[in-house]
Structure formats: C-alpha cells, structure tokens
C-alpha cells in the first residue's frame, strides 16, 4: 500500500494549557518542540489555539515521490488546489477546511512484544501462576495514533476527497451516515461521519491489550471522573475494544486494542449496516453525547 499510516494531527482548541495536561495524563510524552509523542510513532500530536475545537491538520505517510505525484494528480482531477514540495503534497479538504499533508515518512515499526497468556475454559495456557497483567505498573503509553473521526456537514463529499483524491480505501460503512476508511492495513485510520457542522469527534490511540485500556482509563478517572464518556466495550465494526474519555476542550480520546487488520483486499468483505452493530458488539448504554456532543449540538442550534 503506497499510503501506510497516519503521521500526525494538529488539534485546535480554545485553551491549550489544560488540554496539554490531559494528553500528558493520557500517556503522550511532551517533546522539546511542544508537541506530543507516542511510544513508537514519534511526535504525532500538536495543539494550537482556535476559536472552536477542530481538526486543523491531518498528516498521512507515503512511501516515495511517485506516491505523492499520484495523490496530487488525483486531487487536481477533483478540482482541489494542491501545493507540491519535494517530500509532501498539501491540500485543504473543501468541506471541513482540514489541511491534509501527504508526506514521505518511514513506516510504523511496532514494538517487539509477546502477548500475555490468557486462560479460558478447557484451554489453560497459564498454569500455576497469576496473570502478569495484575502486576503491571507505571504509566500507560500509547504505541501510536490509530485513527481520527471527523464530522462533516457533507459526508459524501469529504469521503470522496479522501478516497478518490488521497487514496484511502473503504473498509465498512454505516448506511448513509459514515465511512470507515483506511490508508494502512488497519481496519480504519479515518472515519468520516455526517454532522450538523465540522468538528473533531475523537482521536484513537493504540494500546497492547484490554488490560492497558483499563489501566489507562482507571488512571485518568482516578483524578477526574468527569473525563469518562463511554466504555469499556467492543465495537462490531473494526472489532476493537474501546474506552472513550474527554479532554477539557470536549474532544473525545479513545484507547483501543485488537483492531481488525486487512492485508488482502480481496479477502475482506466490506459491509454497510444500519443496526446497533454500527455502534458496538457489547458495551454499556451509549450516552447521547457520544452520538452528538452537547457543545456541537448547541453550536448547531445557534446557527
């Protein structure tokens, strides 16, 4: 796949300092340049001042200059203005105003680790020993940025920009509402969903397993229970475990693990569904603010 990962995001928020504190607690490491790095993906988040919370910029990794040329040509065929440089192509998604940068970048190198053995009825692989997860300590550190969910008032047009222009592929869809798009072998790196106005619904960050999700969420909630949004659960689309938390600007930040991987396009059967599987396989009741956050509803009502 010529495109291979999300490289970075820039999020705009009214007040940077409290949001920066949240992402430090979330497990991202502040860099000397003022950004935030994951454990294995490098610097992947920057925060800037904006009137309303929003996704300002989305970075996407490409393999070589030929890939950049193909992206530029595809965007120009959609009448999108493109700025070309030796190592990147930059364009603005017309509906949401998000700056999209496709840049030559090294691939994500996953950590070298072995999953803990898990016992099940009739299948005891861990014998005469306690689960290693109960003794884990220290801060939870996301391995990388996994995906971003972008609300668009013209979902079809924004999705077309990313599929026909940038080169994302469709993994699954929620009928008439949202598209799960990938630029890597992971099930989705970007979700474009229908919304009354442009906003960032959530970012999602990859952890090793469900124990790390629980540890990370427990740490964040121990100091501020109002950070909780929804979880613990497992999505049907993408199959991943999840827990959603809220930063001080209102953006949701998801811990996830065990996401589907699509290595053979021909072997994957994309679906378009319109039932509760669109939200979860199992989870606590879906809070109304997850469907439409209160601040976004208020802004939409105000016109």
Q: 1 vs 153, which has greater pLDDT?
A: 153
pLDDT (tens digit, 9 = 90+) per residue, 7-59? 999 999 999 999 999 999 999 999 999 999 999 999 999 999 999 999 999 99
Supply the pLDDT for residue 269: 93
pLDDT (tens digit, 9 = 90+) per residue, 159-188? 999 999 999 999 999 998 999 999 999 999
- Work out the pLDDT band at 110, boundaries 50, 70, 90: confident
Q: Which CATH architecture best describes the domain 3-107+141-302?
A: Roll (3.10)
If DSSP codes are grouped into helix, strand and coil, which group holds residue 184?
coil
What are the residue ranges of helices labelled H in the chain? 16-26, 65-77, 155-160, 210-223, 288-291, 294-302
pLDDT at residue 1 greater than cutoff 70 = no
In sequence order, the 6+-apart residues with CB closer than 8 A to the CB of 202 are 148, 149, 244, 251, 252, 253, 254
Supply the pLDDT for residue 276: 81
Would you kindly state where each structural domain of the chain is located, as residue ranges? 3-107+141-302
pLDDT at residue 207 greater than cutoff 80 = yes
Supply the pLDDT for residue 111: 87
- d(C-alpha 297, C-alpha 303), whole Å: 10
Adjacent-strand bridge partners of 289:
none
Where do we find the tokens 């589907």?
260
pLDDT at residue 89 greater than cutoff 90 = yes
Supply the pLDDT for residue 112: 85
Q: What is the value of pTM for the model shown?
A: 0.96
Adjacent-strand bridge partners of 291:
none
């Amino acid at each position: 796949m010529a495109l291979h990962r999300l490289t970075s995001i820039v999020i705009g928020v009214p007040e940077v300092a409290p949001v920066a504190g949240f992402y430090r607690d979330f497990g991202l490491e502040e860099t000397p340049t003022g950004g935030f790095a994951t454990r294995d993906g490098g610097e992947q988040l920057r925060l800037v001042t904006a009137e309303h919370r929003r996704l300002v910029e989305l970075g996407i990794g490409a393999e070589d200059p030929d890939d950049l040329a193909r992206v530029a040509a595809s965007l120009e065929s959609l009448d999108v203005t493109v700025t070309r440089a030796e190592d990147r192509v930059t364009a603005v998604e017309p509906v949401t105003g998000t700056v999209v940068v496709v840049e030559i970048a090294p691939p994500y190198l996953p950590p070298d680790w072995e999953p803990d053995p898990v016992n099940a009825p009739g299948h005891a692989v861990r014998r005469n020993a306690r689960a290693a997860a109960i003794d884990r300590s220290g801060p939870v550190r996301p391995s990388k940025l996994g995906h971003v969910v972008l609300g668009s008032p013209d979902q079809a047009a924004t999705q077309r920009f990313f599929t026909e222009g940038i080169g994302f592929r469709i993994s699954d869809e929620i009928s008439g509402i949202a598209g799960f798009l990938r630029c890597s072998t992971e099930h989705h790196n970007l979700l474009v969903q229908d919304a009354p106005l442009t906003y960032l619904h959530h970012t999602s960050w990859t952890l090793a397993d469900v124990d790390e999700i629980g540890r990370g969420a427990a740490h964040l909630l121990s100091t501020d229970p109002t950070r909780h949004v929804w979880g613990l659960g497992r999505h049907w689309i993408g199959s991943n475990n999840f827990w959603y938390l809220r930063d001080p600007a209102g953006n949701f930040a998801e811990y996830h693990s065990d996401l589907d991987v699509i290595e053979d396009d021909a072997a994957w059967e994309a679906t378009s569904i319109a039932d509760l599987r669109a939200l979860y396989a199992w989870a606590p009741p879906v809070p109304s603010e997850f469907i439409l956050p209160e601040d976004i509803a208020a802004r939409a009502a105000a016109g």
